[in-house]
Amino acid sequence: MLDERSLVDGCKKKDRAAQRKLYELFAGKLFAVSQRYTKNRDDAEDVLQDSFVKAFQHIDSFRFECPLEAWLKRIVINTALKHIRKNKPWQNQTDVEEVAYALPQAEDSLAGLHYQQLLRLVQELPTGCQTVFNLYAIEGYTHPEIADLLDISEGTSKSQYSRARVLLQQKIQNELRFRNESV
């Protein structure tokens, strides 16, 4: 197996075998990232493909200042955000200061829910909520960073995250309730 430097060097030379190897090495993990930001498999595949096209076009800018996987993941996230931005799903959203409801304090157990089930529940969230939830809870961005990335206010980011948590908790409760009734 080629090391990452050899792989990147091969991609810089437009070597198809190196490009294929890079794709095979990272596509699975990056597809999972793409799925978190999209509503269905087709959109996730489109984001992934667009991301690899961008990665190969800009491979000359990769300087090994971070792990290759982190660089590729950032491209996938940015590509997914670009796709989402086209629809502006958080337009006309209320800032968190104006939200009248409070988040439930009880934490539900996720025992028994598999990754694919959780992914489906996250994908069912409204796009704005899904995007902010992923950026904040999964990727570790702060609300000011999210606001900057998405060109929204910090309050809107907080509101979308708050709403995502409430909706996700409801979905998890319903999923667990349905499962218990089925047993």
Q: Which domain holds residue 114?
A: 96-182
Sequence-distant contacts of 37-41: CB under 8 A, at least 24 apart: 37/77, 37/80, 37/81, 37/83, 37/84, 37/130, 37/131, 37/134, 38/80, 38/83, 38/123, 39/123, 39/127, 39/130, 40/123
Q: Given its phi and psi angles, is residue 67 left (phi above 0), alpha (psi -120 to 50 degrees) or beta?
A: beta
Structural domain count of the chain: 2
165 and 106 in a common domain: yes
Confidence at residue 181, expressed as pLDDT on a 0 to 100 scale = 77
172 and 110 in a common domain: yes
Confidence at residue 111, expressed as pLDDT on a 0 to 100 scale = 53
- pLDDT in 10s for each residue of the chain, 183 residues: 468 999 999 999 999 999 999 999 999 999 999 999 998 999 999 999 999 999 999 999 999 999 999 999 999 999 999 988 876 555 544 444 444 343 333 344 455 568 888 889 999 999 999 999 999 999 999 999 999 999 899 999 999 999 999 999 999 888 888 777 766
Confidence at residue 96, expressed as pLDDT on a 0 to 100 scale = 43
Query: Is 90 within the bounds of a domain?
Result: no
Query: Is 143 within the bounds of a domain?
Result: yes
Instruction: Write the pLDDT tens digit of every residue in 21-54.
Output: 999 999 999 999 999 999 899 999 999 999 999 9
77 and 110 in a common domain: no
User: Rounded CA gap, 124 and 116, in Å?
Assistant: 12
177 and 118 in a common domain: yes
Residue 11 belongs to a domain with what CATH number?
1.10.1740.10
Confidence at residue 178, expressed as pLDDT on a 0 to 100 scale = 77
Confidence at residue 68, expressed as pLDDT on a 0 to 100 scale = 96
User: Rounded CA gap, 5 and 63, in Å?
Assistant: 10
Cβ–Cβ under 8 Å, residues 157 and 143: yes
Q: Whole-model pTM?
A: 0.73
User: Rounded CA gap, 129 and 164, in Å?
Assistant: 5
Confidence at residue 177, expressed as pLDDT on a 0 to 100 scale = 82
120 and 75 in a common domain: no
DSSP conformation letters of 92-160: TPPPGGG-------PPPP-TT--HHHHHHHHHTS-HHHHHHHIIIIIS---HHHHHHHHT--HHHHHHH
Confidence at residue 144, expressed as pLDDT on a 0 to 100 scale = 96
Query: Is 43 within the bounds of a domain?
Result: yes
